[in-house]
C-alpha cells in the first residue's frame, strides 16, 4: 500500500509524494478554486481532494505512470469516471 503525502507549495500548487516499498515519486499538482468546486463539497481542503485523487489514480495505475506535473482537472480526460467517483469518495 502506498503512503501519500500532500504539501502546499504556493498559490494553487501542491507537492505530492507517493512512497512504496520500491521507492517514491514526486508530483506537482495544480488545484484551482474552480477545480475544487467541481470535484469536492464546499469547504473541502484542497489537500484532501489531492489525496483522494491520488488514491483514485493509484487504484488504476502505478505511481510511475502518474504525470509529474499536471492540473488536477486533467484526470477526468484520462478517466471519465473520475468526477463521479471522486465526488462519491468525498461524500457528494
pLDDT tens string 9-67: 999 999 999 999 999 999 999 999 999 999 999 999 999 999 999 999 999 999 999 99
Q: Return the domain boundaries, the chain.
A: 3-89
Q: What is the largest CA-CA distance in the chain?
A: 37
- Give the pLDDT of residue 13: 98
- Give the pLDDT of residue 39: 96
Buried b (16+ CB within 10 A) or exposed e, 57-81: bbeeeebeebeeeeebbebbeeeee
pTM for the full predicted model: 0.95
- Give the pLDDT of residue 1: 78
Element (H, E) at 27: strand 23-30
Location of C-alpha cell 502505478: 62
User: Can you tell me whether residue 35 is helix, strand or coil?
Assistant: helix
- Give the pLDDT of residue 92: 72
Amino acid at each position: 500500500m502506498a503512503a501519500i503525502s500532500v504539501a502546499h507549495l504556493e498559490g494553487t500548487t501542491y507537492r505530492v509524494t507517493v512512497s512504496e516499498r520500491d521507492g517514491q515519486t514526486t508530483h506537482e499538482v495544480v488545484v484551482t478554486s474552480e477545480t475544487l468546486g467541481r470535484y469536492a463539497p464546499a469547504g473541502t481542503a484542497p489537500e484532501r481532494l489531492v489525496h483522494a485523487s491520488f488514491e483514485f489514480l493509484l487504484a488504476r495505475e502505478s505511481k510511475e505512470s502518474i504525470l509529474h506535473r499536471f492540473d488536477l482537472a486533467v484526470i477526468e480526460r484520462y478517466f471519465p469516471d473520475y468526477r463521479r467517483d471522486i465526488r462519491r469518495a468525498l461524500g457528494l
